[in-house]
């Protein structure tokens, strides 16, 4: 095992924006996705149903001024298209997608298996969690050589977790060298480049790997499935395949009521991304995926900046550059493990980062995302993805404006279509699809409880967080990077104050005020008309309940990691 520090290594600069004339030419690309989940037929259906809904929406405003009707329809169309796209594909998942979808490639059979490099970036992570991931790399079957590279940019190099991790990586090579496993531990002295900087540094130390697997410190790989051999076979069958994204499920769902609820919501989020990886614009999801090394080198560094701030969704950035260089990504529908956030603070931090970073990539790399190498179907698909954060976040203020100025059937129809119906469809999938958390052997009543918490409490909180992050981006307020908590938490280390959720509570107050104002001004406090403010009040109550119920929950000492791996989940 070799230990390195970037303080003494030569920096390799790969400017991203300086392309040769050959690089600027459109690349021809044919992919090997023969079973396409995303197709023109669905896009046509979205368009037709969108016209139907807008027509219905217009009929509800027949007595309004023509300018008001036009303005409301323009505003509503943005949400309608996005939600229709989501709901139609959700229904397609419900009836046509399963754990074997798209697994058409036979596992690799050859004498000389290529070397796979595993990159694990770390920053002040609990040793026992990182160890879980490293053990998983060792245990997942592969007949070729494995190269494990851990890059840690922790500031305290004398901490117990840092020293334990460093020693353990050294022990791994001594124990498993006979199985052709090599290890490197690299300390990154630079902390300002965050995870992208760790990934860039790791690439410099890859010696033999033709393919690179990127994992988070809470990722786990299956022992029974031939994950790696299937992945290599996919790459060898198509030299334009730039990366493969493995399917993911939450493995720490059992830690608390909060993680159970988040898992119900996030498993469906991952399932949506997995299914649309068959024919759509595949987004690399940041971890649990394999890359072709030469593609990583061609598309440039993970670290990039926008408006002087580091771009914090390096995964979407890298995906856009893969497509602009004539390659593509797709899904390998074999399940791997990840952890969901253990606390409400961690959940908020994660979605703030995802929303803000997606906006950064969209604004800086718009031409790359919508370049000539991207098909029309892929363009529609990526449009849904990058604008989804805006559409989700701005449902709240749009519903508030409608409630105050055009209450009644228009507001109710808007909330039903953009909030209530999509959440009910998502909850139905979560309770019935074998790829989601419904596989848990718990009483049905508890499944209903966690489903409601996940799709109404948690998702409403995420909507509010997306609104907060979008406003920050538009106002050019920098978004920092907080590590998603994975360690043991207690009341001394976490902020339980309601002031910590000041933006969400302000939104709750404004929304309830809008409901009260609407009831007073438009309905003269007639109790028989209170039905016209119930839906917005329901949405707002879910946000308030999420904060009150979950704000004090975190990972506890009795939450052991032995049962928080993918091999435990898929038994």
What is the Cα–Cα distance from 207 to 118, expressed in whole angstroms? 12
Q: Nearest-CA neighbor of 329 among 353, 301, 299, 358?
A: 299
Percent of the chain with pLDDT over 70: 87
In this prediction, residue 24 carries a pLDDT of 36
| pLDDT tens-place string over residues 365-389 | 998 899 888 999 999 999 999 888 8
Per-residue confidence (pLDDT) for residue 20, from 0 to 100: 42
pLDDT for res 482: 66
Retrieve residue 362's tokens.
Answer: 């969209």
**Per-residue confidence band for 440, with pLDDT thresholds at 50, 70 and 90:** low
Using left for φ > 0, alpha for ψ between -120 and 50, and beta otherwise, residue 525 falls in: left
- Residue 431 has phi, psi (to 5 degrees) of -85, -15
Examine the pLDDT at 7 and tell me if it is beyond 60.
Answer: no
Other CB atoms closer than 10 Å to residue 544's CB: what's the count? 20
Query: Is this model's pTM higher than 0.85 or not?
Result: yes
- Tell which residue, 239, 245, 204, 216, has the closest CA to residue 102: 245
Of residues 25 and 64, the one with the higher pLDDT is 64
Spatial CB neighbours of 405, under 8 Å, sequence gap ≥ 6: none
Rounded Cα gap, residues 372 and 178, in angstroms = 48
CA within 13 Å, CB half, 209: 27
pLDDT on residue 100 = 81
pLDDT (mean) for 6-23 = 45
Tell me which of 192 and 438 has the higher pLDDT: 192
* Confidence band of 166 (pLDDT split at 50, 70, 90): very high
User: Quick one: pLDDT at residue 551?
Assistant: 86
Pair 326, 373: CB distance under 8 Å: yes
User: Which has the minimum average pLDDT: 229-238, 462-471, 491-500, 520-529?
Assistant: 491-500
Radius of gyration of the chain (CA): 24
* pLDDT higher than 60, residue 91: yes
Please name which of 40, 125, 83, 63 lies closest in space to residue 380, comparing C-alpha atoms: 40
Does residue 441 have a pLDDT over 90?
Answer: no
- Calculate mean pLDDT across residues 248-276: 93
Give the model's pLDDT for residue 27: 46
Per-residue confidence (pLDDT) for residue 9, from 0 to 100: 47
pLDDT for res 559: 62
Q: pLDDT at residue 23 above 90?
A: no
The 3 state secondary structure assigned to 390-434 is HHHHCHHHHHHHHHHHCCCHHHHHHHHHHHHHHHHHHHHHHHHCC
Q: pLDDT grade, residue 495 (50/70/90)? A: low
- The pLDDT value given to residue 5: 67
Long-range contacts, stretch 38-46, CB < 8 angstroms, 24+ apart: 38/89, 38/276, 38/278, 38/279, 38/280, 38/377, 38/381, 39/279, 39/377, 40/377, 42/88, 42/89, 42/92, 43/377, 43/380, 45/88, 46/81, 46/84, 46/85, 46/88
Residue 11 has pLDDT above 50, yes or no: no
Confidence of residue 63 (pLDDT cuts 50, 70, 90): confident
- How does DSSP classify residue 220? B
Q: In the structure, what pLDDT confidence band is assigned to residue 493 with cuts at 50, 70 and 90?
A: very low
Pick 16 or 144 by higher pLDDT. Answer: 144
Choose between 396 and 36: higher pLDDT.
Answer: 396
Helix/strand/coil for 37: coil
pLDDT, mean of residues 102-124: 84
Q: What is the DSSP letter of 11?
A: P
Residue keyed to tokens 């044919």: 30
Instruction: For residue 377, report the phi and psi dihedrals to the nearest 5 degrees.
Output: -60, -45
Strand 328-338 and strand 241-250: the pairing is parallel
Cα dihedral angle (464, 466, 467, 472), rounded to 10 degrees? 130
**pLDDT at 329 (0 to 100):** 95
Among 433-437, 508-512, 537-541, the range scoring the smallest mean pLDDT is 433-437
Examine the pLDDT at 494 and tell me if it is beyond 60. no
């Amino acid at each position: 095992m070799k230990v390195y520090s970037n303080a003494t290594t030569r920096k390799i600069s790969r400017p991203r924006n300086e392309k040769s004339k050959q690089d600027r030419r459109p690349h021809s690309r044919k992919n090997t996705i023969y079973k396409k989940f995303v197709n023109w037929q669905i896009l046509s259906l979205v368009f037709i149903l969108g016209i139907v809904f807008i027509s219905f929406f217009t009929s509800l405003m027949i007595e309004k001024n023509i300018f008001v009707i036009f303005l409301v329809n323009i505003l509503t169309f943005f949400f309608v298209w996005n939600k229709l796209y989501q709901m139609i594909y959700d229904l397609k998942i419900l009836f046509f997608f399963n754990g074997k979808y798209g697994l058409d490639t036979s596992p690799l059979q050859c004498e000389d298996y290529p070397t796979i490099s595993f990159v694990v970036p770390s920053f002040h992570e609990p040793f026992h969690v990182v160890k879980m991931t490293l053990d998983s790399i060792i245990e997942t079957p592969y007949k070729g050589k494995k190269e494990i590279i851990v890059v840690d940019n922790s500031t305290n190099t004398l901490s117990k977790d840092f020293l334990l991790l460093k020693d353990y990586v050294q022990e791994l090579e001594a124990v498993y060298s006979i199985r052709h496993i090599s290890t490197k531990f690299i300390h990154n002295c630079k902390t300002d480049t965050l995870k992208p900087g760790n990934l860039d540094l790791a690439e410099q130390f890859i010696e033999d790997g033709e393919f690179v697997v990127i994992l988070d410190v809470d990722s786990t790989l299956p022992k029974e499935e031939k994950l790696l051999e299937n992945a290599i076979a996919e790459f060898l069958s198509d030299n334009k395949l730039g990366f493969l994204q493995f399917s993911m499920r939450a493995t720490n769902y059992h830690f608390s009521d909060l993680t159970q609820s988040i898992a119900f919501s996030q498993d469906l989020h991952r399932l949506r991304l997995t299914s649309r990886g068959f024919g759509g614009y595949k987004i690399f999801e940041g971890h649990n995926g394999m890359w072709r090394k030469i593609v990583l080198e061609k598309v440039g560094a993970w670290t990039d900046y926008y408006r002087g701030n580091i771009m914090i969704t390096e995964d979407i950035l890298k995906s856009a550059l893969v497509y602009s260089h004539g390659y593509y990504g797709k899904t390998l529908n074999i399940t791997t493990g990840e952890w969901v956030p253990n606390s409400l603070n961690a959940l908020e931090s994660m979605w703030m980062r995802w929303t803000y970073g997606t906006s950064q990539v969209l604004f800086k790399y718009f031409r790359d995302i919508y370049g000539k190498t991207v098909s029309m179907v892929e363009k529609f698909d990526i449009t849904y993805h990058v604008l989804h954060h805006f559409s989700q976040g701005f449902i709240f203020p749009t519903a508030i404006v409608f409630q105050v100025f055009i209450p009644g059937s228009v507001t109710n129809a808007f909330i039903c279509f953009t909030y209530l119906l999509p959440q009910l469809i998502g909850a139905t999938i979560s309770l019935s699809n074998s790829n989601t958390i419904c596989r848990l052997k718990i009483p049905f009543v508890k499944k209903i409880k966690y489903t409601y918490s996940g799709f109404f409490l948690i998702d409403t909180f995420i909507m509010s967080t997306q609104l907060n992050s979008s406003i920050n981006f538009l106002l050019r307020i920098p978004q920092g990077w907080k590590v998603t908590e994975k360690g043991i938490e207690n009341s001394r280390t976490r902020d339980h104050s309601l002031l910590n959720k000041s933006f969400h509570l302000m939104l709750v107050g404004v929304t309830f005020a809008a409901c009260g104002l609407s009831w007073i001004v438009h309905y003269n406090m007639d109790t028989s008309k209170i039905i016209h403010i119930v839906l917005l009040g329901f949405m707002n109550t879910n946000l308030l309940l999420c904060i009150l119920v979950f704000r004090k929950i975190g990972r506890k000492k009795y939450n052991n990691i032995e049962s928080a791996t993918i091999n435990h989940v898929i038994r």
